[in-house]
Amino acid sequence: FIEDVSAQSLYDIVRSHVDTMLVLCTRFLLERPWCVGELTIAALNGIDRVAFVFEEFEAPDGPWIGTFELRMSDWGPLAEHGISVEAVKDMLSGYSQWPRVCVPSRIADKNLSQMVDFLFDKTAMHTSASLTLQAPTFVSDEIVRDNINFDLELPYRCGLVGLDDVEAFSSLLVIKHLLPPFIGNMRLRVVDTTLLPSTAAVVLVCSNGIFASSW
């Protein structure tokens, strides 16, 4: 989602600058007109879509699609850009053929590597291939593995994470992978553990309720 642009500009971006759309299939995805519009524009223009399916997502089947126009509270943002009910239903009917990654409620570092490998598999991207990620037994397993063979005397950035906040934990994993050139080494720590003396900085994900915790 790109803020501060009109719906038309957003649809033009999809038409002209997107070759593969990664679709985060969360609970309310198909209740948001702009999201449905982008998906439909992608389908009308032959743009590949890859679904990241979260556990709370209700996949559209025949009966669901048949009553879709009743589920969408406001068709205005779609109709005013020429997106018809029929075009949306055609897009939804093709959902079962999208390559997909089934995402568990908890993920770990190894899951990110599996997702990247899947996305770069050209064969998978042009078939209805499916990857089901296996959730770690505990998120803390990832934190323990993350600190193995790590020189605790060296200055490092500390990413604080709670075991019950999947979004915050996932965000820290992405930050850890993408930002080393900018923030240096980062290791994850459970929020109720003592910071090491060598901690040089703390990376904090400001998720809901974070300042309600005593730590």
Strands annotated E in 1-106: 20-25, 48-54, 100-103
**105 secondary structure, DSSP code:** S
More confident residue, 176 or 89: 89
Q: Are strands 156-161 and 130-132 parallel, antiparallel or unpaired?
A: unpaired
* Three-class DSSP category at 194: coil
DSSP bridge pairs for 160: 189
Judge whether 117 and 65 are in contact, CB under 8 Å: no
Using a pLDDT cut of 70, give the percent of the chain over it: 57
- Cα–Cα dist 198/62, whole Å: 57
Nearest-10 Cα torsion for 126, 54, 140, 153: 60
The token pair that represents 64 in the structure block: 């669901």
pLDDT for residue 150: 46
Q: What pLDDT, in 10s, does the model give residues 65-112?
A: 988 888 877 788 788 888 999 999 999 999 999 999 998 876 666 777
Nearest-10 Cα torsion for 173, 175, 176, 181: 160
The token pair that represents 25 in the structure block: 């299939």
Phi, psi of 26 (to 5 degrees): -100, 180
Which amino acid is located at 205 in the chain? V
> The whole model's pTM is what?
0.65
Which range, of 77-81, 82-86, 147-151, 170-174, averages the lowest pLDDT?
A: 147-151
Mean pLDDT of 117-123: 80
